[in-house]
Amino acid sequence: MANIIIQILYSPQAETVWQQSISIEEGSSIEQALEVSHLYQQFPEIDKETIGISIFGQKVTKTYHLKKGDRIEVCRQLSFDPKESRKRRAAHRQAGILKKKHLKPDRARRVEYDEYQS
pLDDT digits (tens, 9 = 90+) for 54-79: 999 899 988 899 989 899 999 887 77
Q: Are 43 and 11 in contact (CB under 8 A)?
A: no
What would the pLDDT profile of 40-57 be if each residue is shown by its tens digit? 889 988 888 888 899 998
Closest residue by Cα to residue 12 from 49, 43, 40: 43
What would the pLDDT profile of 83-116 be if each residue is shown by its tens digit? 888 888 888 777 776 665 555 565 666 667 677 7
Closest residue by Cα to residue 10 from 36, 37, 32, 29: 37
pLDDT confidence of residue 6: 92
Cα dihedral 70, 3, 5, 22 in deg (nearest 10): 110
Q: Does residue 13 carry a pLDDT above 80?
A: yes
Cα dihedral 25, 29, 31, 36 in deg (nearest 10): 0
